[in-house]
Amino acid sequence: MSILNDPFRVGGLPATNGPSGIRPNAPAPTGTVVNTDNGAIDKLALLSINDIEDFWKANYKAPLKGSFKPVDKYVSYDSEARNGPTVCRTETYQNVNAFFTSRCNLIAWDRGVFMPTAQKYFGDMSVNGVLAHEFGHALQAMAKLVTRRDPTIVYEQQADCFAGVYLFHVAEGKSPRFTLSTAEGLDHVLAGVITTRDPVMDSDESNDDEHGSALDRVSAFQMGFVTGTSACATITKAEIEQRRGDLPTALRVDTGETGEVQINEDTLKTLMELMGKIFAPKNPPTLSLKQGGCSDAKPSPPASYCPATNTIAVDLSDLAAMGKVAGEKQHSLPQGDDTALSIVMSRYALAVQHERGLPMQSPWTALRTACLTGVAHRKMAENIELPSGNSLVLTAGDLDEAVAGLLTNHIVASDADGTSVPAGFTRIAAFRSGVVGDLDGCYSRYPG
């Protein structure tokens, strides 16, 4: 079994909930932060840097070239301060982010808005995760892994990968300063990975600003978490294209456009028609907008599949609420129509499995459901002709909404009782295996 496919393990570690953040007995942070306010965010950031730097000092080896060189300077600023410092020729007013620049060999972060928002939504380890990513850019410079001609996406994916290497060390329990649970704790870190888009200072301005889709970024992080440093050094534009397989262009280009549709009865009827075309079951499930009892499955609102009646029951108002576009506030996970549509697709995937005589309640059912839902997403990236003349076509932005849902509501990766597996890491891996694979692959990868 692949290390990514085990329902109860994450990169070989047990999938568990538990404390995530600063250890109660952690040493005090050491070192200097330029322009600090000596507040809690800067102390957390400096403690994170101490830990990340110690890890890489001990683990900087082949295939990384050269030798470890510490980052020269760490700078804190408040993006709301009009008279804030200029950091290595970069204005900090309204620069709500964190960044590394090799020109001055420094890492800087916004303590005023960016880091507190990350901490508020995703916890202390998201601040640590942001800095692990920025230190990944420093490692690129040390090892000369990239040139100014490399596209942004290569810079970003390598940095995501290096963050994964370090955070595996924390999840393993080997950090003297931090702990990270492999279920909820890692879910929050992955949410931060998806929402953070730092400026790449060392790439030519003529390059595209593509950071990659949520699936691209999580898969790069997983490469580091599962395989280690050697995987990060292999990430190039060609490797990224190979990892994406022959995905349709609509699911590759990270434009942020999603073409939102209303979640109503007509949209769901079109979706059911599409699912019938994609999966071609002999006995398609029926859609019901009324909640009824089910003799052989528990409800999984806002959409439930009942094997006994072969019915998908939807609470339309709750589903529509889940499909509303998220606000523009910093660090909110992508949310929109596909947050809702992917849930209904997953219940249809259960009906397809039921027709094949597969179990309806098991961890393998949950992961197989996510995988089959991924296949449906891949198919819906291109227009499918329907007898009704209606259509629904998905984009990379829709894919991001589905991935975010796997971290928040888990329903897409759940069985007929709505029971999922503990780790978002595993749920996303199952969904991605469908997006880049096919139906047969889902059945062979998740056989139980």
pLDDT in tens, 317-371: 999 999 999 755 545 788 999 999 999 999 999 999 999 999 999 999 999 999 9
The reported pLDDT for the residue numbered 205 is: 42
Query: Tokens 């980052």 map to which residue?
Result: 71
Whether this prediction's pTM lies above 0.85 is answered by yes
pLDDT in tens, 93-143: 999 999 999 999 999 999 999 999 999 999 999 999 999 999 999 999 999
Tokens of 53: 């730097």
Residue percentage of the chain with pLDDT more than 90: 86
The reported pLDDT for the residue numbered 1 is: 62
Place 17 in a pLDDT band, splitting at 50, 70 and 90: very high
The reported pLDDT for the residue numbered 270 is: 98
Strands 178-179 and 106-110: unpaired
The reported pLDDT for the residue numbered 195 is: 87
Measure the CA–CA gap between 129 and 192, rounded to whole angstroms.
7
Measure the CA–CA gap between 291 and 303, rounded to whole angstroms.
9
Query: DSSP letters along 242-263, please?
Result: HHHTT--GGGT-----------
Measure the CA–CA gap between 106 and 127, rounded to whole angstroms.
17
pLDDT in tens, 153-208: 999 999 999 999 999 999 999 999 999 999 999 999 999 998 887 767 766 544 55
Q: Please, is 292 exposed, middle or buried when counting C-beta atoms within 10 Å of its C-beta (0-12, 13-18, 19+)?
A: exposed
Least confident of 182-191, 208-217, 316-325, 391-400: 208-217
Query: DSSP letters along 339-406, please?
Result: HHHHHHHHHHHHHHHHHTT--SSSHHHHHHHHHHHHHHHHHTTS----TT-------HHHHHHHHHHH
Tokens of 39: 């507040």
Question: Taking a C-beta distance cutoff of 8 angstroms, is the pair 96, 128 a contact?
Answer: no
The reported pLDDT for the residue numbered 254 is: 57
Q: Please, is 323 exposed, middle or buried when counting C-beta atoms within 10 Å of its C-beta (0-12, 13-18, 19+)?
A: buried
Question: 3-class secondary structure for 90-104?
Answer: EECCCCCCEEEECCC
The reported pLDDT for the residue numbered 2 is: 80
Measure the CA–CA gap between 139 and 325, rounded to whole angstroms.
37
Peptide bond preceding 284: is omega within 30 degrees of 0, i.e. cis?
A: no
For 10, 263, 315, 387, the CA distances from 390, given in Å and listed in that order, are 41, 15, 23, 8
Question: Taking a C-beta distance cutoff of 8 angstroms, is the pair 339, 401 a contact?
Answer: yes
The reported pLDDT for the residue numbered 212 is: 84
CA diameter of the chain = 68
Q: Please, is 318 exposed, middle or buried when counting C-beta atoms within 10 Å of its C-beta (0-12, 13-18, 19+)?
A: middle
DSSP element (H, E) containing 59: helix 40-59
For 29, 72, 99, 182, 420, the CA distances from 199, given in Å and listed in that order, are 27, 19, 6, 28, 36
Average pLDDT, the chain: 94
Query: Tokens 């924390």 map to which residue?
Result: 170
Please, which residues have CB within 8 angstroms of residue 327's CB and are 6 or more apart in sequence?
none
pLDDT in tens, 233-266: 999 999 999 998 888 877 876 555 556 899 999 9
